[in-house]
Amino acid sequence: MGDIIIKYQIRSHPEEKPKNVRCYFDTGSSRTFVKHSIASHLVGTRELSHPRAFFGFGNGSFIATDMIEVEFKLLNLWVPHLCYVVPDETLDPDYDVLVGHDFMQIYDVHLLLKDRKVLIQKNALKMALRIR
């Protein structure tokens, strides 16, 4: 599992003022999650057609009732990603967004665990943005 927390800016609309959030990169999570307190300050949260159950985080379970598309500012590019909105207490108090494998695979993000760094390549971001 990854164990890297880095601050990034996110927004849900180009005219929205970006918000600084702490992102926890977790290679063991298949999805990306954002705390309700963060999503509630952004535009565009949408209710799911039915609550979605997830399992994990210490062998527990939790439910997401909403999703939001946010843009992460990486290397001066805004990259979009769909995130499940979860109750704040679902995620650790040390971070606001849990960045899962889905995000890392789309944008070819690699974790350098030994150095506690995230490797992001601008060409990979540009390619992913073109293909979308």
Q: Is the dihedral of CA 120, 81, 20, 31 positive or negative?
A: negative
Q: pLDDT tens across 64-123, in order? A: 999 999 999 999 999 999 999 999 999 999 999 999 999 999 999 999 988 989 999 999
Between the alpha carbon of residue 107 and those of residues 20, 50, 89, 128, the distances in Å are 20, 28, 28, 6
**CA–CA dist 73, 17 (Å, integer):** 12
Based on the number of CB atoms within 10 Å of its own CB, is 1 exposed (0-12), middle (13-18) or buried (19 or more)? exposed
SS3 of 43, please?
A: coil
Q: Is the pLDDT of residue 130 over 70?
A: yes
For residue 81 the two structure tokens come to 């990603």
For residue 121 the two structure tokens come to 């390549």
Can you give the pTM of this predicted structure? 0.93
Distance of CA 39 to the CA centre of its chain: 11
pLDDT on residue 23? 98
